[in-house]
Amino acid sequence: MKKYIVSIATGLVSGALIYYVCLPALNLQSGGFWIYLLVVLGLMWGTFAVCAELELQSINPNKGKKNVVQVPDEKMQRINRQVAISGLVAAVPLLVLLIGSLSSAKLFHASRYANMITVETADFATDMEEASSVSNIALMDTNSARIIGNRTMGSLSEVVSQYEISGRYSQINYQGAPKKVANLEYASFFKWLNNKKNGVPGYVMVDPVKNTAEYVKLGTPLRYVPSAYFGEDLFRALRFAYPTKMLDQYYFEIDDQGNPYYIVSCVSSHAGLFGARDVSEVILFNPCDGSSQIYPVGDVPSWIDIVYSGDLASEKYNWYGTLKNGYWNSKFGNLDCKVTTDDYGYITIEDDVWYFTGVTSVGGDESNIGFIISNARTGEYTFYQVAGAEEYSAMSAAEGEVQEKGYTASFPSLINVSGQATYIMVLKDDGGLVKLYALVNVENYGIVATGSTQAEAMKNYKKLLGSQGIASGSVSGDVSEGSVIVEQVRIVELEEVPVVYITAENGDVYKGFLNADESLILIREGDTIQVQYVETDVPHIYQIEDWSLE
């Protein structure tokens, strides 16, 4: 009886300690749960075996000695059986792990993996809204955001000595504009110990378009963050509130009023015990007071931007692209097998954040057969069949345009310029600071334009398209030039984009986008200007590519 009591006590104590430290989900679909159970049962069995050995020694003190006859004893045999049986029980979690992993394999569930998503096909030139301006494109990568954010923190002496900015910047859409946000974290255990009564005072918001950052101080500080300890640790608070949920990725976001939340995805398996995991629920966690609410994945509030991670979005498309014609085809025939490229970027469409990544044939060359975009909140997919350069080839082309400067290109975003699929990216110096912007044509990555601002790069790129006669959509034809006497100037805001309309004395109308060329605001009625322009779909209305005063 003693050995049972001791082994059970060992299991309870060790199980409680391991659970508190490792925080496994108490869920049969969690591999971590079975590993946790294996360790606890293994400790119990080890304790039981040691106690049994001590009991055997008391029954037969000559056990193990040489030249001494060992007398079998019924009690000894019973104890050995108990040790063997308890060892088999302790090994059950290992058996579940092995069988569960095998039964969840793609070999047995290829169709389930492939059918996790539905992919719509659309025409890029008509479905993707044309980027008449570039004021809403988030091109800054996380490393650049860290540099700008740290620079802002450096001016706050009362904060920087006790806190640091989290390295996990979240890409969100805040009040109609793209932003990157990251909360402050305790700099160390002792900084947490000294400041836990005050909490974490705020977060940093970076504007990836203007390359600026601001520190936002909260009225109610954050209490539950990943850098806190014991009961204030974010993951411990989540685990104790949701012991059975398989917690996956988490993101720091703010709602439209600037209130902070952690968005935590919960996953479940769709193939066997451990396979084809996907987000099933989302926890909205308030780090200020520890309150939370859980939503089915289809019912999350619309202001939340990231439910599915970019890695998961790419992985699910790879399941779809490689397994839809069966497992063995994905290994040998590769008929119609497609995969995403190695990385992904962000696009803001209306009020949602979307991932975009190129799609290439399995075993193909360094080119794309198209692109997918995936909604980070809803998980919907759209495929555009646009053949051309993959992202890293375009990055190399942009770097080659200014190779004497030694700048490095960031991973690009994808936009529609005059019906042309176009990569847009930043070029950074060795310090990670943005120096230039570059646009590269997807289908012909020899067409590269750069500029010190997004607007200048766009302007130069449109000139290249016009000069080569490949632009389509809202403008067409070659770039023309002429002299115009300005009779009237009007500024009209179309879909939040200011457009300058210039009426000439002969009745022709010339339009330009103020976000793309701020100098248009200098044109006055009565001026005579020299205009470079292209035709639009409407007769006698022309789009300004460049202008100057005569």
Residue 61's pLDDT is 61
* Cβ contacts of 144 within 8 Å, gap of 6 or more: 211, 410, 426, 428, 432, 433, 434
DSSP assigned state of 226: T
Q: Tell me which DSSP letter residue 297 carries.
A: G
β-sheet bridge partners, residue 283: 264, 294
CB 400 within 8 A of CB 390: no
Residues of the chain with pLDDT > 90, as a percent, come to: 53
- Cα–Cα distance, 247 to 226 (Å, whole number): 14
Compute the mean pLDDT over every residue in the chain, rounded to the nearest whole number: 87
The residues facing 168 across adjacent strands are none
Helix (H) or strand (E) holding 220: strand 212-222
> What local confidence, expressed as pLDDT, does residue 472 receive?
41
Residues 516 and 498 sit within 8 Å (Cβ to Cβ): no
pLDDT tens for residues 338-391?
Answer: 999 888 888 888 888 999 999 998 876 668 899 999 999 999 999 999 888 888
Residue 444: name the closest of 460, 461, 425 by CA.
461
Residue 482 has pLDDT above 70, yes or no: yes
pLDDT band at 464; cut points 50, 70, 90 = confident
Task: Calculate the alpha carbon distances from 377 to 172, 279, 309, 374 in Å.
Answer: 11, 11, 9, 9
What is the distance between the alpha carbons of residues 6 and 19, in angstroms, rounded to a whole number? Answer: 19
8 Å CB contact between 122 and 185: no
Integer angstrom CA distances of residue 107 from 94, 97, 138, 238: 21, 17, 40, 35
DSSP E strands in 341-455: the ranges are 345-349, 352-361, 367-368, 370-375, 381-384, 388-389, 408-409, 413-417, 420-428, 434-441, 448-451
Assign 122 to helix, strand or coil.
strand
Cite the beta strand spans of 84-128 per DSSP E: 119-122
pLDDT at 474: 44
For strands 509-513 and 497-504, give the pairing: antiparallel
Is residue 73 very low, low, confident or very high in pLDDT (cuts 50, 70, 90)? low
pLDDT in tens, 217-254: 999 999 999 999 999 999 999 999 999 999 999 999 99
Position 56 confidence tier, pLDDT thresholds 50, 70, 90: low
Least confident of 59-68, 154-163, 389-398, 533-542: 59-68
Q: With 90 as the cut, is the pLDDT of residue 471 above it?
A: no
pLDDT of residue 243: 97
pLDDT score of 359: 93
Alpha-carbon distance 58 to 69, whole Å? 16
Among 138, 62, 126, smallest CA distance to 413 is for 138
Q: Is the model more confident about 259 or about 167?
A: 259
Distance of CA 33 to the CA centre of its chain: 27
> Higher pLDDT residue, 152 or 439?
439
pLDDT confidence of residue 200: 95
What angle (nearest 5°) sits at the alpha carbon of residue 174, between those of residues 144 and 164? 45
* Residue 344 identity: Y
User: Which has more confidence, 336 or 269?
Assistant: 269
How confident is the model over 6-17, as a mean pLDDT? 89
Q: Is 296 within 8 Å of 278 (Cβ atoms)?
A: no
If phi > 0 it is left, if psi is from -120 to 50 it is alpha, else beta; for residue 425 that is beta
One-letter amino acid of 296: P
Highest mean pLDDT among 194-208, 232-246, 386-400, 523-537: 232-246
Report the C-alpha gap between 548 and 519 in whole angstroms.
9
Can you say whether residue 526 is alpha, beta or left, with left for phi > 0 and alpha for psi between -120 and 50 degrees?
left
Handedness of CA 228, 159, 259, 198 (dihedral sign): positive
Asked if residues 209 and 454 have their Cβ atoms less than 8 Å apart, the reply is yes
What's the full length of the chain, in residues?
A: 550
> What is the pLDDT at residue 176?
82
Determine the Cα–Cα distance for residues 232 and 305; give it in Å rounded to an integer: 25
Higher pLDDT, residue 32 or 446: 32
- Pair 288, 260: CB distance under 8 Å: yes
Q: What is the pTM of this model?
A: 0.81
Does position 495 have pLDDT exceeding 70, yes or no? no
**138 or 177, higher pLDDT:** 177
3-state class of 521 per DSSP?
Answer: helix
State the Cα–Cα distance between residues 41 and 443, nearest whole angstrom. 60
pLDDT tens digits, one per residue of 283-301 = 999 999 999 999 999 899 9
Contact between residue 52 and residue 296 where contact means Cβ atoms under 8 Å apart: no
